[in-house]
Chains A and B, each alone.
Chain A
Amino acid sequence: MEHLSIATSGIIALLGYGVVFFGLVLLMIVVMILGKVMARSKPAAAPQAAEAAPAAEAEGTAGKIKLFDVPDRDAAMIMAIVANRIGKPLNELRFRSIKEVKDE
């Protein structure tokens, strides 16, 4: 094959980078729509669960995982140790809450 000129190859490079962005942006839109559809189709049982939830969460509760008197750093270590012990990647595990058990 003939050698490409620097200008032509530059245009191909720009076009290629653009195509990658175009493809992934469209995919992002598809995934966002999918997420919205799924969120709408979920049964509306959330308010009841919220009422029943205990109100004694410690400061530092992060998103879905609930931390009770456990600092973030300790929680991260516990999750890493559990993943290591059971031999499963961390991204395959979901921790719902971590609570410190205190001696009376």
Chain B
Amino acid sequence: MNIGATLLKLWQESGFAAFLAAGGWKNLIMIAVAFVLLYLGIVKKFEPLLLVGIAFGTLLTNLPGSALFHQELWDAYIAGEEGMTFTKIIHEGGLLDILYIGVIAGIYPSLIFLGVGAMTDFGPLLANPKSLLLGAAAQLGVFIAFWGAIMLGFTGPQAASIGIIGGADGPTAIFLTTRLAPELLGPIAIAAYSYMALIPLIQPPLMKLMTTKKERAVKMEQSREVSKTEKIIFPIAVATFVILLLPSTAPLVGCLMLGNLFRECGVTDRLNDTAQNALMNIVTIFLGISVGATTIADRFLSVQTLKIVALGLVAFSISTVGGLIGGKIMYRLSGGKINPLIGSAGVSAVPMAARVSQVEGQKANPSNFLLMHAMGPNVAGVIGSAIAAGFLLAVFGA
């Protein structure tokens, strides 16, 4: 046995040798990106529940030779090649290919919405239904970024997937992108979750720019108490009404409202507990790691990714501005009774955007307590971004 030849073979088969092969440097860069994302998730606590999983998926998929994820299989599946089915992917793919089936089939985002529904109290929205207008106003960035993406040379479905980053709703962005532009899933998911984590940095300067100190200091009256019956009827009414209006929203809105019904109906406590804890956690693990797996070096390191990151920031910022404009209009129409800061919470990102409204409101007036008022537009934003996604899916879907 030739020891030298054996050692050489071991070296050639190792992932280290692959770094020296053509294009291997790109993997090194992506591994560095994974480390940065892990740092942001663990040390800076930027959306850690998802970002840590996404970052680790990025790391695993870019370690040469790991064979956990096969982009070529998914390219063939998306292109509709004959015989390329989920069954074949299970047989020929790696672990992350199998987990990724749940993303591409739209299962994970919908199940996350089930958990979000179980965790969400729609009481503030029911107490002040006008909050829904702010949830609508704050979808402005979705459509402006969509338009901007078209101008930067993206196709309609790609632009729609980029625009939905402005909805500040990770599961919705992932759901729409897997339907319309799965090739962009990695950069879009990372941009969406990163900007959601950066909301406390992105929104306050815009809030100060768009409002006066007098407006920010407005104290709002406490909302009325909402009955249990209203809370039970609400998810049933919303699911029926919104799905009839836009059938393409059925997976997201259906799961969101089912989760909320589990929470409010009072007879499904065990299901409610599972939806918002065990199921949510399991799906979050699968979603994070399999979305991270799509950040293949060859695809991710491109000018296109930089454009997506820039457009995502534009989408987030304009959505915040849209919500604030809506808030200012309501401030004027209500004779100064509504604090316009609650408008920026319409971008979804529950509950972080509402917390930012609370913090900024208290800075202007230390006795201000806006959290509950901002929760109304905040949860309205979740429904608003689902409707926006449903519209884009109806226009660009197959």
Contact = CB atoms under 8 A, between A and B. Distances in A.
Given A90-B371, A92-B121, A94-B225, A31 B142 contact: no
Contacts of B132: 24-25, 27-28, 31
Contacts of A17: 139-140, 142-143
Contacts of B351: 89, 91
Contacts of A14: 143
Contact of A13 (B129, B143, B367, B383): B143
A6 interface: yes
A71 B139 CA distance: 37
B254 interface: no
Q: Which of under 10, 10 to 19, 20 to 34, or 35 or more describes the interface residues of B?
A: 35 or more
B391 A9 contact: no
B298 interface: no
A1 B159 CA distance: 12
User: What is the interface of chain B mostly: helix, strand, loop, or mixed?
Assistant: helix
Interface string A59-88: 000111100000111001000000000000
Nearest to B135: A24
Nearest to B157: A1
Interface stretch (B23-31, B44-52, B147-155): B147-155
A4 interface: yes
B121 A27 contact: no
Nearest to B380: A24
Contacts of B223: 63
Interface in B244-302: 245-246
B156 A1 contact: yes
A20 B388 contact: yes
A28 B384 CA distance: 12
A92 to B, nearest CB: 6
B387 A91 contact: no
Contacts of B175: none
A31 B372 contact: no
Contacts of B144: 13
Contacts of B314: none
B330 to A, nearest CB: 12
A26 B245 contact: yes
A65 B135 CA distance: 27
B371 A16 contact: no
A72 to B, nearest CB: 4
Contact of B129 (A28, A72, A94): A28
Given A6-B150, A94-B225, 12 more contacts: A3-B150, A3-B155, A13-B144, A16-B142, A20-B136, A21-B136, A21-B137, A28-B129, A34-B126, A34-B230, A38-B229, A91-B351
